[in-house]
Amino acid sequence: MTMLNTNIPEAVRAVASNGTQLRYALMELAAQQKDTIALGRGDPDLDTPQHIILAAQEAIRRNQTAPTPVAGMPELRSAIAEKLRRENGLSVSAENVIVTTGGQEGLFLIMQALLDPGDEVLVPDPRYTSYDEAIETAGGKIVMIPTDHDDAFNLPVESIEQAITPKTKALLIVTPSNPTGGIITEERARAIAEIAIKHNLIVISDEIYEKFLYDGWKHFSIGSIPGMEERTITLNGFSKTYAMTGFRVGFVAAAVDFIQAMTKVKTFTTGPAATISQHAGLAALNGPQEPINEFLRIYTERRQLMMTGLRDMGLDFSDPRGGFFLWTISSSTGINATELSYLMLKEGRVLIFPGTGFGDKWDGYLRITLLQSMDELQEALRRMQPVIERYRVKA
């Protein structure tokens, strides 16, 4: 694809091969200019439901601020286990759960407790590159499993089996996916489970976007399959489902001995999650669930708007079955994705992440989020149109 010599700042160019650093470099540029519409980060823009806010306030009023056990408040661990049994079909109790300081910490704790130096982890590509840092920090090695647009970025079973070596310890699955919006279908999950059992693999299942699926697609937890109970580590949290990103509350469900290992690591690093945030999480689970349905309605409406708007400007995208993202094909413009993202930011005042922020092979894609109001999304589309028209490479 064409590079247009648009004087991409060195701060961006220097980190173009590191997905996490590239995303943050673009966010820093966006912060330096006024009136930017952010379609980059995956943080919900909707308000945290009021009953959750009130629970946090009540915890402060009652002075319920003392540290909890490192693995989390017993009543919150029990409520999470109940949710996982009821909604996900997992055979778990409170002892199978640890409360983490957000899903990000949960991911790092998993890798620290699981991996020995040299262990290999199979990871779908493209992916949220924080997985890379978590695995590498623990001394592990990432082995990419390619996924494909024509398969809606479902995880290919044949590629998994071909990638397994004597050093393979675990397989990471993310459903719905960040950045593609693809899902692991139940049929595919059952085939993956057979491979995991056959090769004695641990499966790390990131299900943080589980509540937001479209067009009739359903979430399926691989840990619910017989034989997968002891070999599945389920990562989830409150930030996406309840718009609680700033509360920093996640959770992991796994075998009891593995939760104990994670707890030891957490004891010597961050300690327990914030007590007030845990009270908020408890209220989220035990309180009314109608806000989730309203969030889904809003995201569905936004998704349709963006799909229509992108197609109108000649951009297609993978099938967005879940999550907050449109994994948009930018290769039709003929412009490298990093450069196109920079042009969108500087000339269109719209922050979008290039596909290379999620793997260096994805310079023909953009990740566009749905996390702005309808008015802001319409304005973003209006700003993007002339940038595409101005720089699209003519055949």
* Tokens (6 digits) for 120: 């290999």
- Low-confidence spans in the chain with pLDDT less than 70: 1-19, 394-395
Closest to 79 (Cα-Cα) out of 289, 286, 229: 286
Q: Identify the domain boundary among 286, 310, 327.
A: 286
60 belongs to a structural domain: no
Residues 82 and 32 grouped into a single domain: no
Rounded to 5 degrees, what are φ and ψ at 22?
-65, -45
d(CA 151, CA 88): 25
Same-domain check for residues 241 and 130:
yes
Q: Is the pTM of this model over 0.75?
A: yes
Residues near 238 by Cβ (< 8 Å), separated by ≥ 6? 244, 247, 249, 250, 280, 281, 284
Full domain range(s) for residue 120: 66-286
Residues 142-201 pLDDT 10s: 999 999 999 999 999 999 999 999 999 999 999 999 999 999 999 999 999 999 999 999
User: Does the residue 57 lie in any domain?
Assistant: no
For residues 18 and 92, state if they share a domain. no
- Break the chain down into helix, strand, coil percent, rounded to 5: 45, 15, 40
Question: Are residues 264 and 371 both part of a single domain?
Answer: no
Final residue of a structural domain among 286, 302, 336:
286
Query: What's the pLDDT score for residue 395?
Result: 45
2 within a domain of the structure (yes/no): no
Say which residues have a Cβ less than 8 Å from residue 278's Cβ, sequence separation at least 6: 68, 72, 73, 76, 99, 249, 272
Q: Which pairs count as long-range contacts for 54-61, CB under 8 Å and 24+ apart, including other chains? A: 54/283, 55/279, 55/280, 55/282, 55/283, 55/287, 56/247, 56/276, 56/277, 56/279, 56/280, 56/283, 58/279, 59/275, 59/276, 59/279, 59/280, 60/276
End-to-end CA distance of the chain: 12
Are 254 and 362 members of one domain?
no
Nearest-angstrom CA–CA distance, 126 and 246: 26
CATH of the domain at 246: 3.40.640.10
Identity of residue 232: T
Decide if 187 is inside a domain.
yes
Looking at the structure, do residues 307 and 266 belong to the same domain, yes or no?
Answer: no
Q: Do residues 386 and 264 share a domain?
A: no
Domain stop point among 246, 264, 286: 286
